[in-house]
Amino acid sequence: MTEYHVAKNGGLINPGTKAQPFLNIQQAAEIAQAGDTVTVHSGEYREWVRPRQAGLSEFRPVTYQVAAGEQVVIKGSEQITGWEPVSGTVYKKVIANEFFGDFNPFKETIWGDWMTETSRTAHLGEVYLNGRAMYEATDLAGVTEPVLRETVEEFFVFVEVAERYPERLKYTWFAEVTETTTTIYANFQETDPAQALVEINVRPACFYPETNGMDYITVRGFEICHGACKWAPPSGDQPGMIGPRWSRGWIIEDNQIHDAKCSAISLGKVAESGDNYYSRRKDKPGYTYQLESVFTAEDQGWSRERIGSHILRRNHIYDCGQNGIVGHLGCVFSKIYDNHIHDISMKREYRGWEIAGIKLHAAIDVEIANNQIHDCSCGTWLDWQTQGTRISRNLYYDNGLDFFVEVSHGPYLVDNNLFVSRFALRNFSQGGAYVNNLIAGNIDWADVRDRATPYHLKHSTKVKGYAVVYGGDDRWYNNLFIGRPDAAAVGTANYNGHPTSLAAFIDEVQSFGPVDVEKFQEVKEPVYINDNIYLQGAAAFDKEAHSLTIATFDPQLSVQREGERVVLKLTLPEEFTRQQAALRGTANLMRTRLTDAEFENPDGSSLVIDTDLVGASFGNVCGPLQQLTAGANEVVIWG
């Protein structure tokens, strides 16, 4: 096992020792083998690192790390000088296209399946002024006379969070690309570009393999930024600024990752299983092509033994256009925890459906735990085939929408989370269990009868069947619901009219005599709801046997960032401590109806939900913090 060194005082013909280090990280990536370590020393590395060899196991990875106590940044950008004044604060730079090679991000548009923007064209290019991304204008007038845009209200990106940076909107750029040159116009306002750091992105990735099967690679301690990575829909190729491509066993930890044009970290699929066929062919809906990609990937070896099982932990991810973390198929069996994710899709330069702090399709046996996610258009969006996944002990606040589960059949477990944005949850699925959460925002429910999606054998990628979403088969226990005047529906009253057991559901279906599909579609699915608290207008399920409702009580809820800390303030009524919650887990969460599976750990063992948001043991208290009590509470929930 060899340790290679990379440093800014290195050389292109050096052997990569500490005394004679490589100059570029890619020099080490060309030769590092399983068990080797690449240690990178302080400096700025403008390159796309493409590992050539894989590790062999979690015990023999190829490790890329920053030297202890040093700072390393990998950039997908290049510094641009020699800006020519045009008029006032507007400058231009004419660049020969040879500078970009075979990839010019200022020529490449952001396009693909599930894009919804039709009124403007955005490009992969970006201009950064002193490290901060500027805004692309749609024409030269948007540079010479920039104006503050109106906020956009679309889908779950609501007015309250659609525009965070009004002062930054005056820093605009526009590019004209001909066969030979690219001319970039930029309005730097009060800044003289000759006295500033001006950069443009030129590489589609910063740390991303060119081939599949680059297993067991660890990337630790880097700052990674300025990738011109493309739109990453679930039915297309999904590259990120950093990611494992189509492989197994990566660890991405302790990195600062920011300013990806689209997605920062990709755990996604590749073009071999389908690449934007709806946008290219237009003959079938994207839904159909996405469904085909699942079966195509299965034929190509999509399995636990070959794909997924990645670990993403303790990363700081921010200021990205589409996603902090994206994945379809390639994210299976992965763990995502202790990350801080914010300011994702807040510039609103382009729009589409596949946008969130974490956006995963086919999240099978994925653990999403102890992450802080705020100031995102959507915090976390799990779409299709969410099965065996656990979303636990996360902080969601100041998002357009906190959490969305779509067209999945479970089982999936959502426990001990904080959902306190105005729009807290969107549940377009079935087979979920929501236990010991604090929910203080609007909840949307819907069945989905026009799109059948797959479900799987337990703890496997093997497709077992497929079904539509009937809207039910959910479990809600020990949650603390807090209504608010600007939220239409908080609580569980949407389930009124549902039976409360599988036996009652079967009896009602069979009461019609021998039946087939039609009665299963007409009879509401069972739900399991008990031991919840409803305050300030939150409404309870009409068959909930044991609950506490105080409609007029104002808990004075607030979540505040104080430096690196996040503090929850909450006042609770005297009756709070008299509402005792029961311990929940595999033994009493009931199996899911369609997938016929239990709520259990990924290894098949029984689970018990016995640890709260901050790691305290369960003590029969509703909500995500077992230390909550009647009266005023102030709890440090992060930092």
Dump the DSSP string for 420-470: -SSEEEEEE-SSEEEES-EE-SEEEE--EEEEEEEEESTTSSSEEEEEEE-
Q: CA-CA distance, 341 to 257, in Å (whole number)? A: 10
Contact 632, 624 (CB under 8 A): no
Task: Determine the length of the chain.
Answer: 639
Which of 338, 365, 324 has the alpha carbon at shortest distance from 253?
A: 338
Helix (H, G, I), strand (E, B) or coil at 510: helix
Phi then psi for residue 142, to 5 deg, are -70, -15
What is the pLDDT, as a whole number, of residue 159?
37
First-to-final CA distance of the chain: 37
Q: Which residues of the chain have pLDDT under 70?
A: 117-118, 147-168
What is the pLDDT, as a whole number, of residue 561?
94
Phi then psi for residue 43, to 5 deg, are 145, 180
What is the pLDDT, as a whole number, of residue 156?
39
Which of 248, 252, 235 has the alpha carbon at shortest distance from 324?
A: 252
Pairing relationship of beta strands 181-187 and 378-383 according to DSSP bridges? unpaired
Which of 289, 245, 284 has the alpha carbon at shortest distance from 263?
A: 245
pLDDT digits (tens, 9 = 90+) for 134-160: 999 989 999 998 765 544 444 334 334
What is the pLDDT, as a whole number, of residue 169?
75
Q: CA-CA distance, 304 to 159, in Å (whole number)? A: 41
Token duo for residue 484: 């608010």
Token duo for residue 308: 């997924």
Total-model pTM: 0.97
Q: CA-CA distance, 365 to 413, in Å (whole number)? A: 10
Tell me, what DSSP letter sits at residue 365?
S
What is the pLDDT, as a whole number, of residue 437?
98
Q: CA-CA distance, 46 to 36, in Å (whole number)? A: 23
State CA 579 to chain mean position distance.
35
pLDDT digits (tens, 9 = 90+) for 4-31: 999 999 999 999 999 999 999 999 999 9
Token duo for residue 180: 């030979």
Q: Where are the alpha helices (DSSP H) in 145-187?
A: 159-162
What is the pLDDT, as a whole number, of residue 161?
38
Token duo for residue 260: 């990806």
